[in-house]
Amino acid sequence: MKNFQFAILIFLFAIGCKSPEARYPVSQNSGSYIDESVEKNREMIAQEEEYIQMVMDKNSETDYISSADGFWYYYNEKSTDTTNTETPEFGDIVTFDYTISSIEGEPIYLEGEKPTREYAIDREKLFTGLRQGLKLMKEGETVTFLFPSHKAFGYYGDQKKIGSNVPISAKVTLHEIKEETNNETKDQ
């Protein structure tokens, strides 16, 4: 009887020490939905960029500049002061005004609808294109940016006047750049 109890004890011990086995999902996705979504987004971006290029071609007297970040811009007022070479960097506080229009120039937010804004570069929320565009500007300049929807308000729009996947034009005036005073933050 002792041998039988001993054998059961060893058997139970062996079962209890068994390593856990991986559980596999009942169904597996191949990722085709994500692949389709990526392809649709690429097509949409290409169509928007084609349309923006067509609008720029119609306005041939304007000297458009292509940014490395995927949008276009032109200067309404460019700084002629040769000593004014500072552009905002991480953490600097900028004061600016802006208006937003459709790519064709139809007003969405008129002057004064968006209040003068202070913004800490790359430390606060601001739509991607404007955040990148401000870094190209100097004090006193006014620049008009043409943003594809993924650089503007994207899929969700602004939940007010700008719909889903709408490319926009933003006219921005940079009033002031205050350099960051805390040196520790720049090192991070």
Q: How many structural domains does the chain have? A: 1
Q: Is residue 146 part of a domain?
A: yes
Residue 57 lies in a domain: no
159: left (phi over 0), alpha (psi -120 to 50) or beta: left
Q: Which helix H or strand E contains 184, and what residues bound it?
A: helix 183-186
CA dihedral 67, 71, 77, 82 (to 10 degrees): -20
Asked if residue 159 belongs to a domain, the reply is yes
124 found inside a domain: yes
- Residue 86's domain spans which residues? 63-180
- Quick one: pLDDT band at residue 185, thresholds 50, 70, 90? very low
188 pLDDT exceeds 60? Answer: no
Looking at the domain assignment, is residue 51 inside a domain? no
- Give pLDDT tens digits for 88-124: 999 999 999 999 999 999 999 988 888 889 999 999 8
Residue 1 within a domain: no
Task: Select the more confidently predicted residue: 154 or 26.
Answer: 154
Q: Is 10 helix (H, G, I), strand (E, B) or coil?
A: helix
pLDDT value, residue 187: 44
CATH number, domain containing residue 134: 3.10.50.40
- Is residue 73 in a domain? yes
pLDDT digits (tens, 9 = 90+) for 34-93: 888 889 999 999 999 999 999 999 998 999 999 999 999 999 999 888 787 889 999 999
The pTM is what?
0.76
